[in-house]
Chain A
């Protein structure tokens, strides 16, 4: 029997577990918007992020804050290396989109195999225990993990929004995303913008893998499976619309969670593929709410009257 408590619990836990998908989606959508790259190498970066933190916590035995810093630093460094050494080279050669796509996909697979070599294929979590303290709030189980996931995702998303909206560097990213050559004419370095976008993406990726890795076991090929969610959410949110993609990630996560009420849990993952199919066919440019459009500055300016003309 379905009751309010059940619905509320599914909503709460579904939203909390969507948090890492939101982070992966934002990273993917940001790179797609600014760099114009379908960055399937993100799965490789996710693997690097997880195993760097795993190494820090389980081999170096350093405190959580230091391990996180280590993970962030390592991932940012690796991502920067790929951008500078690989992607710039492909751009200089004016490589086609297909070449970029194949390169990023192969890079992810290569990283997965390297990680298998070094860390094996046993499912591991960042910490030995996967349990976190739970409290009951209005009949709903709220765990510390849920709170950390939601607050960190919210904080990072807000920080990115503020950065893109108000910070000079963030505005440069938007400019390059809108029109790269024109931005360059105004003295904005597209190369720098790409590097900044990739750096921000690696921060989100590392945060997402921390959340995932404290809850579920990871093997080197796990990130490749998680990527599908980010791709679907990006498509559904609309290419170039980072926060719509993030919202789409939450919606898909909740739909997947609530689907248990109508289908057997064994088929929950089928919902993902159903969404992908539906999105590509019906909303190839993403889903837009009817009646909402961006208001341009020109629209707000007073219209000339016959006397003023």
Chain B
């Protein structure tokens, strides 16, 4: 075997490698140009928050289905990859890491404030756009360049209910009870700040443990303080228990909470104890948007019930439309579908006219602003109370 033969063999091998590499790159590019447009959804599918998480995923799935039925995005299907977070910080990090590193998605939708905060550093480091779907901690507005929210933060609806309590209901003192986690702490602070800003006084500001089942001591402190109004910043699992024990101890103050209380199950569990409960909704009802009525009918037909946390599911139905618009923008601009370009698209489009929740404007301040719908329980059903713009 002479040197010339070896040189020729090496040259041929080199050509083969170049050809294989070119074909591989071309195939990948072709796949990217024609394959589905993928994004991630990290939500609690199990655990104590799955009651809301599963229904929100269902809303998003229907959003994706309806977009694809209308031809998809620039002729390509939208595909959603769903992973479970259990609303747990560590599991949320695992899920988002997998979506970014393994599934290679440029956008991730996620929720629950503790999870959004935990995955923010990953989003900023990997330059993947993370959109907070329904979390409401005001800190979400300050989590970095690659974290945005498509849902109004707590300083919108909770501030609105605090102002309503003072200005319209004439309550001068309030008690704030909150679950001792991200969702509870931030929301409670917003209520306190808004109520005091109006001139009210916070009689008691008390946290309870997420795993508590007996709130007697805390409620007796509340009884002693005798506030005009009680605001509970809890979660779907503990909220009915706190209200039930409150009523059983003879505390009859009017109670307000945020959108988590907008759930027919709470009325089932509490019966008459739920009367007068004020909840917020950041999504229009059937009277304000006829599509919402159709959406609710679809739930009844396909699932045999109304969704848990209807306003949240409305947002999740709409958020694939935001993602579709951003993908379309990038494709039209002939830009690679990276997180960086997704972010550019989000800010370039800015205003999204969404089917369930109406107009949404994404600000450079990482916030969105929406009217707040207040509802109350009357004769065992939620009825509109006021709209605060």
Q: Which residues of A are interface residues toward B (Cβ below 8 A)?
A: 1, 6, 9-10, 13-14, 17, 116, 120-123, 125, 128-132, 134, 136, 141, 143, 212, 215-217, 219, 225, 257-261, 264-269
Contact = CB atoms under 8 A, between A and B. Distances in A.
Contacts of A258: 217
Contacts of A264: 206-207
A151 B270 CA distance: 25
Given A129-B270, A136-B250, A264-B207, A17 B214 contact: yes
Interface residues of B, number: 36
Given A122-B51, A225-B211, A264-B207, A143 B216 contact: no
Given A121-B46, A122-B51, A268-B209, A10 B271 contact: no
Given A9-B220, A141-B248, 10 more contacts: A6-B220, A10-B216, A14-B214, A123-B51, A215-B213, A217-B240, A219-B48, A260-B220, A267-B209, A268-B212
Contacts of B48: 121, 123, 217, 219
B241 interface: yes
A225 B209 CA distance: 13
26 contacts: A1-B224, A9-B220, A9-B249, A14-B216, A17-B214, A121-B46, A125-B269, A128-B269, A130-B240, A130-B270, A131-B244, A131-B271, A134-B250, A141-B248, A141-B249, A257-B217, A260-B217, A260-B218, A260-B221, A265-B209, A267-B209, A268-B208, A268-B217, A269-B209, A269-B211, A269-B212
A228 to B, nearest CB: 10
Q: Which of B209, B213, B217, B273 has the most CB of A within 10 A?
A: B217
B268 interface: yes
B247 interface: yes
Contact of B241 (A136, A216, A267): A216
A257 B216 contact: yes
Interface of B: 46-48, 50-51, 180, 206-209, 211-218, 220-221, 223-224, 236-237, 240-241, 244, 247-250, 268-271, 273
Nearest to A225: B211
A122 B269 contact: no
A36 B354 CA distance: 64
A13 B213 contact: no
CB-based closest 6 A-B pairs: A260-B217, A266-B207, A266-B180, A265-B218, A13-B216, A216-B213
Given A13-B216, A17-B214, A131 B270 contact: yes
A1 B224 CA distance: 7
A268 B244 CA distance: 20
A9 B216 contact: yes
Contacts, number: 103
A265 B220 contact: no
A232 B192 CA distance: 38
A143 B246 CA distance: 12
Q: Which of A17, A128, A130 has the most CB of B within 10 A?
A: A130
Nearest to A133: B248
A251 B50 CA distance: 35
A130 B269 contact: yes
Given A128-B268, A215-B213, A219-B48, A141 B221 contact: no
Contact of A265 (B207, B213, B237, B249): B207
Given A136-B250, A141-B250, A123 B212 contact: no
Contact of A217 (B50, B237, B248): B237
Contacts of B240: 130, 217
Contacts of A268: 208-209, 212, 217
A131 B248 contact: yes
Nearest to A7: B220
Given A10-B216, A216-B241, A260-B221, A121 B50 contact: yes
Contacts of A225: 211
A125 B221 CA distance: 27
A233 B271 CA distance: 36
B214 A13 contact: yes
A261 B217 CA distance: 7
A1 B271 CA distance: 32
B182 to A, nearest CB: 13
